[in-house]
Chain A
Amino acid sequence: GEDVEQSLFLSVREGDSSVINCTYTDSSSTYLYWYKQEPGAGLQLLTYIFSNMDMKQDQRLTVLLNKKDKHLSLRIADTQTGDSAIYFCAEKDGTGFQKLVFGTGTRLLVSP
Chain B
Amino acid sequence: NAGVTQTPKFQVLKTGQSMTLQCAQDMNHEYMSWYRQDPGMGLRLIHYSVGAGITDQGEVPNGYNVSRSTTEDFPLRLLSAAPSQTSVYFCASGQGASNSPLHFGNGTRLTVT
Give A contacts to B, CB under 8 Å: 1, 4, 6, 8, 30-31, 40-45, 48, 50, 88, 92, 97-105
Contact = CB atoms under 8 A, between A and B. Distances in A.
Given A42-B90, A97-B48, A103-B42, 20 more contacts: A31-B98, A31-B99, A40-B106, A41-B107, A42-B4, A42-B92, A43-B43, A43-B102, A43-B104, A50-B99, A88-B42, A92-B98, A97-B96, A98-B96, A99-B48, A99-B58, A100-B102, A102-B44, A104-B41, A104-B42
Interface of B: 4, 31, 33, 35, 40-45, 48, 50, 58-59, 90, 92, 94, 96-102, 104-107
8 contacts: A41-B106, A42-B92, A42-B105, A42-B107, A43-B43, A92-B98, A97-B48, A99-B48
B94 A88 contact: no
B98 A30 contact: yes
Contact of A104 (B4, B40, B48, B50): B40
B31 A98 contact: yes
A99 B61 CA distance: 14
B96 A44 contact: no
A94 to B, nearest CB: 11
Nearest to A30: B98
Contacts of A42: 4, 90, 92, 104-107
B10 to A, nearest CB: 11
A105 B40 CA distance: 8
A48 B99 contact: yes
A42 B37 CA distance: 10
A88 B42 CA distance: 8
The interface centre, meaning the residue of B40, B44, B104, B106 with most chain A CB atoms within 10 A of its CB, is B104
Contacts of A41: 106-107
B106 A99 contact: no
Contacts of A104: 40-42
A50 B31 CA distance: 20
